[in-house]
Amino acid sequence: MKFFIGQVMPYITVTIFLLGLLWRVWRWTGALRIHNIALSPFARNWVDTIGIILAQILFFWNPWKFDRPLWVGAWPMHAALVGVLGGHAVGIYFMGTQFTYIGLSVAASKQASVLLGQLVGIVFLVALLYLLYRRIAIEKVRAVSAPSDYLHLILLLAIVVVGDLMRFLPSAELEYEEARHYLAGLFTFHPVPIPDNWYFIIHFLLVQILMIIFPFSKLVHPLGMLWERWIVNRPYQDTPLGLPGVRLTLGGPAGETTASKGV
Amino acid sequence: MAAEKKLKAPKKATEAELRAIHIKPVPDEEKPQVALELLRRYKDEWRSLVMAMETCVKCGLCAENCHSYLGTRDPYNIPAKRADLMRKVWKRYFTPQGRLFGWLVGAEDITLETLEMWYSYFYQCSECRRCGHVCPFGIDTCEVTMAGRRILHQLGMVPKLHATTGAAMLKSGNHMALTPAGIQDTLEFLSDEIEEENGFRIEFPVDKPDSDILYVPSSADFMLNPETLKGAARFFHYIGANWTITTRMTEAGNFGYLFDQALVQKELVNRLFQEAVRLNVKKIVWGECGHGWRAIKMYYNTMADLPHRIPITHILDEAAEYVKRGLLKLDKSKNPEPTTLHDPCNYVRACGLAENLRVLIKAACADFREMEPNREKNFCCGGGSGILFDDPDMYELRIKFSLKKAEQIRATGAKVLCAPCSICKAQFHPMIEEHHLGVELYGLIDLVGRALVWD
């Protein structure tokens, strides 16, 4: 079973993840009829559009303005997610020495790496618990929830709990070197046996399950958001003003034609 | 059916009324299948619907930002749950997770009961897009209710109000079945009124060829809101316009947009362009109607079979430009009462009119007071998308839908409510009484017209 989870399944998982995402996005893009349904705020040009979308992605602007209790859980959760994913990539690749690039010693860098990992790991856990509590306890959120909405949160919580245990319990910890060696084997298509650490094996398995269901769930919302906002936030040019044949034109009284004023 | 008795829904059109809009109802036992076929076709074509179905994460933010939920506290009036009435069917038949896992992922089979729920709740949505404005992803729930209404229409499930209005549109080119003679008469009468009030006469040109401007008023102006017509006439007269109204298409609104988005909606678009060419106009200027302005602004190029090059603008945008350049002499003391502005949803969330409304109202009124929230954050009057039903159940709901709005108005202490949209006016006339608001109701060009200073 360790062989399957460690050396076979990852390839199946990534294939399903990538092809699944492509297929999902293909279905969206294949729907070609798009009416010009611009929605406030109105972008006058593509810079405006990018600004609107960035404000939503970076600051969760709408939850901040229109449902602060949601923002309190959602933004820290996603920020911690970015921290966790980035931390995995950078921490494992550089084996904890990434902060030597900003002048820390190797030992200090490794300490910082551990500390940051612990910090985002806790924030992530607390935020997820808050969101789960919200979904159970607040009527309007409970009313719109299907069983899978709870299950997604529980799966994420399981992944984070195991990950946090690995970060906080010395007995559960996995050395960067071992993780790096194992992952390098996968990336270079020369898989090696999965490290003999049950926390890691469970963590890794749960993450793969998440990746398999990802393309077939609401987890694609980062992409969905872009596709949706490309419709409603696209720049819209208004028809020029200026009434033809009037005595009092926009340029002033009588005499001028308004042909040049956008008729 | 037991479920039907509990559901609040508008009275349905009869077979004869459906025939008048060229619909042959589908037998009950075939409805779910036909609905599914139509939904499948929309899935392949209509991207805004696809994204609404696929992107929602059920965060619940939309709930307390929707006047419909706030007024009724019915969970199905939460936009995400309203959309779920369609999404659960979408998931069941069009997604692998829905086919495999059913109820676990919120997927459900389609039945006649599903369609009755659609009918009830898609006509409790006023298609105001406040949910779209607040959604983190910009999901426009009214794309769902519009798709739903289109499907229901083809099944033969249409409110009596919408079907009869649609029939009037096909026959007379306006919602109120106004005839050319009726139009002429009303406008004569209004010219008389203007003469009494202003001391000089302003004629309303009707079907005048070689006009430069075609003005398209809301037909409801003729029956309910004549001050809006008078305001427009005063504005055009002030700037010395060569304008006309056409009796073939006297409708700034478009109820077809609100239920069929096909034959009925196209009827007015086709008439509009035929008349614009026949009368040889250079520009079309739209009157005070929210959904109608949105419908023509966003859809006319795709609705008409040929691209049309006659530009179309809104009278309030044009008038605001005159005010900005200091070209309209206005006397605020002609509108002395404390006045508040209701931002019509379609103007502010779909058509970018918020600032121009303020340019006009501040120039025309002595004591303007904002309501809170305002502009694109404003709440719907509760009557949007033509859900102005009079049957007792639905009328009760209208009172609930306008609850949030009533609170906003009361808080301003205003004596005059300015609502520059025809459906809003139709909603406010009775709702002002129901909520005991004690305000007078005007459009915006009305107030501008009254404030104009004539040399």
Same domain? For B112 and B183 the reply is no
Same domain? For B177 and B315 the reply is yes
pLDDT of residue B5: 52
Same domain? For B226 and B365 the reply is no
pLDDT of residue A258: 40
Specify if B71 maps to a domain.
yes
Three-state DSSP at B212 gives coil
Question: How large a percentage of chain A has pLDDT more than 90?
Answer: 90
For helices A221-232 and A46-59, what crossing angle results, to 10°?
150
Same domain? For B335 and B309 the reply is no
Specify if B6 maps to a domain.
no
Average pLDDT over residues A86-111: 92
Same domain? For B73 and B94 the reply is yes
The predicted-structure confidence for A194-211, as pLDDT tens digits, reads as follows: 999 999 999 999 999 999
Check residue A7 and report its DSSP letter: I
Residue type for position B326? G
Give the residue numbers spanning the domain of B385: 328-451
The predicted-structure confidence for A144-188, as pLDDT tens digits, reads as follows: 999 999 999 999 999 999 999 999 999 999 999 999 999 999 999
Q: How far from chain centre, in Å, is Cα B445?
A: 18
CA distance B375 to chain A (A): 10
Specify if B394 maps to a domain.
yes
Same domain? For B315 and B340 the reply is no
pLDDT of residue A253: 74
Residues making up chain B, counted from first to last: 455
CA distance A100 to chain B (A): 38
Name chain A contacts of B135, Cβ cutoff 8 Å: 62
CA distance A12 to chain B (A): 18
Same domain? For B295 and B400 the reply is no
State whether A250 and B327 contact (CB < 8 Å): yes
Look at residues B157, B183, B204 and tell me which one is the last residue of a structural domain.
Answer: B157
Specify if B9 maps to a domain.
no
B326 torsion bin: left (phi>0), alpha (psi -120 to 50), beta (else): left
State whether B61 and A67 contact (CB < 8 Å): yes
Percentages of chain B per state (helix, strand, coil), in multiples of 5: 60, 5, 35
Three-state DSSP at B453 gives coil
Mean pLDDT by 10 residues, chain B (455 residues): 69 97 97 98 96 97 96 97 98 97 97 98 97 97 97 98 97 97 97 97 96 97 97 98 97 96 93 94 97 90 76 97 96 97 96 97 98 96 95 94 95 98 97 97 97 93
**Which has the closest alpha carbon to B371: B354, B349, B356, B395?**
B354
- The answer, yes or no, to whether residue A262 has pLDDT greater than 90, is no
Specify if B14 maps to a domain.
no
Q: How far from chain centre, in Å, is Cα B23?
A: 23
Nearest residue in chain B measured CA to CA from A225:
B137
Distance CA A153, CA B455 (A): 71
CATH number, position B214 = 1.20.1050
* Contact by Cβ (8 Å): B264, B170: yes
Nearest residue in chain B measured CA to CA from A131:
B59
* Contact by Cβ (8 Å): B286, B296: yes
**Which has the closest alpha carbon to B50: A231, A93, A258, A195?**
A231
Look at residues B291, B320, B349 and tell me which one is the last residue of a structural domain.
Answer: B320
pLDDT of residue A1: 87
* Contact by Cβ (8 Å): B23, B143: no
Q: What is the CA radius of gyration of chain B?
A: 22
State whether A239 and B213 contact (CB < 8 Å): no
Residue type for position B44? D
Look at residues B288, B303, B320 and tell me which one is the last residue of a structural domain.
Answer: B320
pLDDT of residue B308: 77
Count the domains in chain B. 3
* Contact by Cβ (8 Å): A35, B48: yes
* Contact by Cβ (8 Å): B79, B131: yes
Specify if B12 maps to a domain.
no
Specify if B381 maps to a domain.
yes
Same domain? For B344 and B315 the reply is no
- Facing residue for B106 by CB, picked from A148, A228, A243: A148
- The answer, yes or no, to whether residue A257 has pLDDT greater than 60, is no
Confidence of residue A251 (pLDDT cuts 50, 70, 90): confident
Greatest alpha-carbon span in chain B = 76
Name chain A contacts of B212, Cβ cutoff 8 Å: 243-246
State whether B61 and A145 contact (CB < 8 Å): no
For helices A221-232 and A9-30, what crossing angle results, to 10°?
20
pLDDT of residue B455: 82
pTM: 0.94
Same domain? For B110 and B194 the reply is no
Sign of the CA dihedral A168, A174, A180, A184? negative
Specify if B305 maps to a domain.
yes
- The answer, yes or no, to whether residue A256 has pLDDT greater than 80, is no
Domain A2-8+72-220, second-level architecture: Up-down Bundle (1.20)
Same domain? For B183 and B270 the reply is yes
